Structure 1
């Protein structure tokens, strides 16, 4: 296929030859000047169009067939000031055999971007596994969606509890049915609607600039979900903030599970040494309260020996059951 530059040069030479033949002597110099000027103008116009047209098209967006997590990881690694993810979950941080090899690639991309840019903002919205929306999405997929979400949340918790650089990753859980999935890096983004019985990597996506009206709308949508009153922080999913009051007041964050509307606090003698000592001492007059949104709510409680009902739930949420002491937190005490 002939290249555009060759076509331009051929047309210009042909024009010079024809005009020169028409009046070979008298006007040759003027012809050369005019054609030369026209050629320069045409070349500049071609250069500008060749340079800017693809960028104009790229700014307004283009449709693509699916997206790979390797591509997402590469874009994250190059990010300078912002990474945003709105999704049911992300497969590389699950135990799914098809994506296991992508775990390190995805984590390393986050680490690379965070280390290179001290002001990089990383915000991730994952669907709340306890929400009705998660149950609905689970019914639409062959995969165990709720399990994958829990694996994601535990993976992000472990990352944030490990290397200091990962503590800058801000993760929240949202409870409404997501209208779409979105991956955003700096001024570029990619979105897709949720197909029935398909992963988001198997459906068409739309790549666009965040400076477009669509980009503004998507940013507003993300911010709306992020600040929704029912959206909760990852730490509120992992921990229950308790206040123990006896001779002194001790605040403590403990692992917990909720089974059949009942809340069970899982205390480990190494991880929760002070709380275990206070509760196992059967101190008379001990009060336990839940602290939520800066409100202190006194609760009835009881130490339980039968842990069978919650072992499975604990393994699903934390990967293992390692509690030495289990405390059931009952409904708030009437004032």
Structure 2
């Protein structure tokens, strides 16, 4: 598959003004919907616009590349696999010396009978100096809600958010067991946009698929491509854009909130606390925060994520607010798969 052939395909598309017009109009409409939704996030109509714009943009990305991919398969320049073979992919990962990358919503390769083999392959790749980067969908994003709706359209009965969290808990345990040198080459991040494609890469080759409606991408056809090809370069560009996006967050930041306790001008302690969010407020679980509140100091406030310019007041959520307490318990179990009871709420300090 040469660059010249790829360019010819683009020129052929350009000779069809109808397709070009549809693509341009689609981009304009989706851009307008996304812009309106992003600037009016409290408006129900705006939320609908944001959802529609995200879906349309994802569809346009798919349309823009699915034609060339189908042509490459027909020409025999791309190898097709009937599904994602977890054991086979784990074997390829174990041979990597430079790159291992995954871009998906959530993956059974991270929570499956074959997961141990995959993680052993990752350890081997890390020991050889490979850089391992995994991108999963942020479970709290609009894109996760849209993917949930897509799967339910095919009678798939599972929670996208719950499956992502299962992946994250497994990866968090794996990260904790890595040595310092290995950990420096291993990173997991969460994106919040519509990717439309999945990527399973080892060094210069990768398996690529699309997110189908009503079923899992891993159970459908996987296209094995070379990353040096125009198609591989396009997919890599999409991965890099999502990885470097300002709205993409690291797994550690998503699972643990950096809280700095301030009791007076000279005392400040930094803690890592598990947390959930509800209606814009953070609710944390940490015994040292509870102990500090029990001492009733003259001043007790916190700031988050290392930003001392935004102080927060603390309050305990208990049985006096049973509805909120139950919502927080459910959210905490969904996120960490453990029970919690004593939540401390953090609200921006007034004045």
Common fold: TM-score over 0.5? yes
Name which of 99, 117, 121 aligns with 1:105: 117
Alignment of 1:4-19 (within 5 A): none
| Residues 191 and 300 of structure 1: CA distance in aligned 2, closer, same or farther (over 3 Å) | same
Q: Is the 8 A contact 2:329 2:340 kept in 1?
A: no
| Residues 207 and 240 of structure 1: CA distance in aligned 2, closer, same or farther (over 3 Å) | same
Match of 1:265 in 2: 284
| Residues 189 and 207 of structure 1: CA distance in aligned 2, closer, same or farther (over 3 Å) | same
Once the two structures are overlaid, the 10-residue window that deviates more, 103-112 or 132-141, is: 103-112
CA distance in 2, matches of 1:87, 1:301: 37
Match of 1:37 in 2: none
2:227 corresponds to 1:217:
no
**Gapped runs of 5+ residues in structure 2?**
1-74, 320-324
Q: Is the 8 A contact 1:291 1:297 kept in 2?
A: no
Alpha-carbon distance, 1:167 to partner: 5.9
Match of 2:141 in 1: 131
Alignment of 1:304-319 (within 5 A): 304-306=317-319, 307-319=325-337
**Gapped runs of 5+ residues in structure 1?**
1-56
Alignment of 1:129-208 (within 5 A): 129-141=139-151, 142=156, 143-164=158-179, 165-166=182-183, 168-208=185-225
Residue deviations 1:209-250 (CA, integer Å, cap 9, x gap): 111111222221111110011111111110111111123111
CA distance in 2, matches of 1:106, 1:190: 15
| Residues 257 and 220 of structure 1: CA distance in aligned 2, closer, same or farther (over 3 Å) | same
User: Pairwise CA RMSD of aligned residues?
Assistant: 2.0
Give me the TM-score of the superposition, normalised by structure 2: 0.70
- What's the secondary structure of 1:149's corresponding residue? helix
Q: Is the 8 A contact 2:300 2:313 kept in 1?
A: no
Q: Is the 8 A contact 1:264 1:327 kept in 2?
A: yes
2:274 corresponds to 1:255:
yes
Q: Is the 8 A contact 1:288 1:300 kept in 2?
A: yes
Give me the TM-score of the superposition, normalised by structure 1: 0.73
Name which of 299, 315, 318 aligns with 1:302: 315
CA distance in 2, matches of 1:303, 1:112: 46
- Number of residue-to-residue matches in the alignment: 263
Match of 1:3 in 2: none
Match of 1:333 in 2: 349
CA distance in 2, matches of 1:255, 1:222: 29
Match of 1:278 in 2: 292
Alpha-carbon distance, 1:277 to partner: 3.0
CA distance in 2, matches of 1:92, 1:61: 23
Alpha-carbon distance, 1:193 to partner: 0.9
Larger radius of gyration: 1
CA distance in 1, matches of 2:87, 2:330: 33
CA distance in 2, matches of 1:73, 1:166: 19
